[in-house]
A and B are shown apart, each in its own frame.
Chain A
Amino acid sequence: MPEGALEGLKVVELGQMVSAPYCAKLFADFGADVVKVEPPDGDVARQWGPFPNDEPHPEKGGLFFFLNTNKRGVTLDVSEPEGRDELIELLRDADMFIENNRPQQMRDWGLDYDSLAIVNPNLVMVSITPFGQTGPYSGWLAYDLNAYHLSAAGHRYCGRPGEAPLEHGTFSADFYGANAGAAWGLAAVYGRAVVGGGQQLDVSCAEVIASVFTGCQNIGGYAQDGVYETRTGVGMPLGAPATILPCKDGHVWMLALQPGQWNALAKVMGNPDWMLLEQFQDMFVRAQNADAMYPLIEQWTMEHTKAEIMERCQEEGCPTTAIMTVPEAAEQPHLQERGYVVDIEHPVLGSMRTLGAPFGLPESPGGPTSPPPLLGQHNDELLSRRGRS
């Protein structure tokens, strides 16, 4: 088996929950040597489930499993001098340090960048927090939900008017911050000779989304014209059909905007007469008449399954897709054939299935091959005696 692309890269993670652990996992997926440092009672994600049969157990958490494969793990109380010294020893010859603690906490522990740069001037430190290292909210307590909603992503794009703005039902801001930390962090390692040593990269999960998503799409227009929009709950209010509709066994993402797509949908639906009416002849007038049109399409979708609708639409050139449930997404033959789901043996859980690498590198394949560490599993291997806890 060819070695991983990042073989030889040494990463230390002082992270809990989602952002820093997922960032470090991206490196672990591609062969970096990642040591996860947990407090003596473990990463909080160990308590967050899901658990088999909903029975809490610190070694059986599904979220923790997903985020921490391919890592080795130690436990250290870094608030004690001995624990801090052990961490410093791990960082002395590390390439990267990935963490998501509150900035003041890191200063209190003496683990801020300036202190660490004295020990290892080549260290690339990636700090991923809800609001970043600077600015008035830097000291605030916050979690994924708080960071996500400061970006206006929900207020603008997710939810119905008059009702609460919505997160997407996952750790959207944490994943975005992890992703940005990985790209910028690896660039800083790649260009270390050019830059002249290590550095700290300051990632604010809220700021990443407020830049590349809501900022990108809205801020130029708002700054120039002073007008802005809010969520509609519809999908695409200016063109139609572009929304989620119910069908016989669930929902479909109904999209038929361009003339060819609309004609394809008409063919799949058996060319009903109403589709020839003038008020439905382009995506803009269809949007103006959406209240009349959506029920007509829905009558048809309710008679068909999402798989039928998707298959027939895609065949004819209409980009409508099934809203897959999580089991349907997990079991799709496409992903099985591509090897995207993998099974790993875990000492407590037994055989466990998880998701593979986020992208494929044919010359240096990645993805999870070993289970996440048990609490303190590698203390003997990686720590000198005094700091063990």
Chain B
Amino acid sequence: MAAPLPLKNVRVANFGWVWAGPVVGQTLGFLGAEVYKIESRSRIDINRTLPPFGEGVNDPDRSLQNHAGWAGNGSVTLNLKEPEGVELAKQIVAVSDVVIENFGPGAMEALKLGYDELRAVKEDIVMLSMPTAGLSGPLKNVRTYGMSLTSLTGIDSFTGYRDGPPVPVENAFSDPYNGIMGAFAVLVALTHRDRTGKGQHIDYSQQESIMQLAGPAFMDYVMNGRAATTMGNRHPTSAIAPHGVFRCQGDDRWISIVVANDEEWQGLCIAMGDPQWAQSSDYATSAGRVKHIDSLHEQLAAWVAGHDDHKLADLLQEHGVAGVPVSSIADLLADPHFKARGTYVEVTHPLGFKETIYGSYVKSNKFVAAVRPGPMIGQDNDHVFKDLLGLPEERYRDLIEREIIY
């Protein structure tokens, strides 16, 4: 029988919007926390408006990618432009352990929901603020999109084909990364709170968190004054070769191949049938293979071409070589590995249609994560305002009518 979820005694008021903030709530929610995303019909979160929609109907409760990214969060609606809405938000915070937000610096203060105001209603509150570049410093008001955040970290300068210009990553790779890391930050602060009784206001700079991925190149700059250039699919510290993606038989089919040591190189040679070119002393050592990587990749590409990606991966794996097919989006749903692990799950949305979202993206051998469909806007209003805050029915109806709970 599955164990209780580890965060079942944690309650979260999530003012996060779009993607990164909601993924913080999702991660805590999957792990058992009671998470309420606080949003409003007076300003529909843009993430609810993104296609494709369930059954093709354009509606803020039917955005499929929104449901996947927000699943695990509940939803309550409050119009925060109204002082009564702010007051109710504070009442939710007063019975919560954690507050999450990813607006720009100062936005929560402008709403009268800054850390000092929230601490006045819940002294040991853990508040996570995750603006682009942190709460202080000359760049604190910088504006980026999720996909351009990496421009401020050095990462974009080395993403691209060798000897070519930087190639943009075409979606916000940083957002869900920061969402998960934001959940870690909350858990670190909760651990500290439980030991000391003190809450705190986490200054989470998305720039700094994602810049850790530039760590290897940063160290090369520190040690050698070098500015990294576009890497292609090569090893990030140029330590091993082959290390690349090679074209296979079929339309846009590819395989990734990595050889990390001499033993794996011998395996690759045998898998290829010991061709003459591979006997060259140029390729006998790891240093040699790195030095002669261009000719090595050219020869390897010629051998790979014409092979089926999956059959070739099987052959390489049999010989102890890290060869793995490159997936397309279509491959993900059909992949036997992801199927076996239940990576994607079909759920029935409260509106009645079936949709596919991702499930527990980490697996526990003790508990089953709380994966539910993405929240309907305001789905938890009854529970939060009546049960949790104890509003009398009449006042609750009145607040809805006056579009405070809205």
Contacts and interface: CB of A to CB of B under 8 A. Distances in A.
A217 B365 contact: no
B361 A190 contact: no
Given A65-B219, A179-B177, A221-B52, A132 B155 contact: no
Nearest to B153: A329
Contacts of A6: 188, 191-192
Interface in B105-157: 133-134, 136-145, 147-148, 150-157
Contact of A184 (B139, B189, B362): B362
10 contacts: A6-B191, A190-B194, A210-B343, A211-B359, A213-B171, A220-B355, A334-B138, A355-B215, A361-B185, A363-B199
A53 B341 contact: no
B197 to A, nearest CB: 11
Given A50-B223, A338-B205, A135 B341 contact: yes
B333 A222 contact: yes
B173 to A, nearest CB: 6
Q: Which of A171, A246, A253 has the most CB of B within 10 A?
A: A253
B388 interface: no
B336 interface: yes
Nearest to B194: A190
A47 interface: yes
A162 B27 CA distance: 36
A214 to B, nearest CB: 7
A353 to B, nearest CB: 5
Contact of B181 (A143, A179, A207, A219): A179
Interface string A144-170: 011111111111111110111111111
Contact of A188 (B6, B171, B341): B6
Interface stretch (A75-83, A193-201, A276-284, A285-293): A193-201
Interface stretch (B74-82, B269-277, B321-329, B398-406): B321-329
B361 A212 contact: yes
Given A146-B324, A338-B205, A208 B361 contact: yes
Q: Which of A203, A214, A323 has the most CB of B within 10 A?
A: A323
Given A212-B176, A218-B332, 5 more contacts: A63-B219, A149-B324, A171-B216, A220-B356, A233-B168
A235 interface: yes
B372 interface: no
A276 B330 CA distance: 41
B327 A143 contact: no
A195 B137 contact: no
B238 interface: yes
B167 A158 contact: yes
Interface of A is mostly: mixed
Contact of B247 (A164, A172, A212): A164
Given A150-B325, A194-B4, A196-B3, A63 B237 contact: yes
Q: Which of B55, B136, B218, B264 has the most CB of A within 10 A?
A: B218
Given A150-B327, A361-B188, A326 B358 contact: no
A212 B231 contact: no
Contacts, number: 539
Contacts of A26: 184
A244 to B, nearest CB: 5
Contacts of A140: 313, 317, 322, 324
B268 to A, nearest CB: 11
Contact of B238 (A49, A183, A224): A49
A321 B174 CA distance: 16
A137 interface: yes
Nearest to A181: B362
A6 B335 CA distance: 39
Contacts of A135: 336-338, 340-341
9 nearest A-B pairs in the assembled complex, by CB-CB distance? A191-B6, A62-B219, A220-B64, A169-B231, A329-B154, A223-B356, A211-B358, A334-B139, A5-B192
A99 B241 CA distance: 25
Given A47-B239, A314-B143, A164 B245 contact: yes
A65 B5 CA distance: 36
A224 B361 contact: no
Contact count band on B = 35 or more
B85 interface: no
Nearest to A343: B222
A353 B194 CA distance: 33
A174 to B, nearest CB: 9
A338 B322 contact: no
A169 B181 CA distance: 21
Contacts of B148: 253, 255, 319, 321
B341 A207 contact: yes
Interface stretch (B34-42, B65-73, B379-387, B389-397): B65-73
A229 B187 CA distance: 36
A131 interface: yes
A364 B192 contact: yes
Contact of B5 (A152, A194, A218, A233): A194
B191 A190 contact: yes
A200 B3 CA distance: 13
Given A141-B322, A219-B68, A325 B222 contact: no
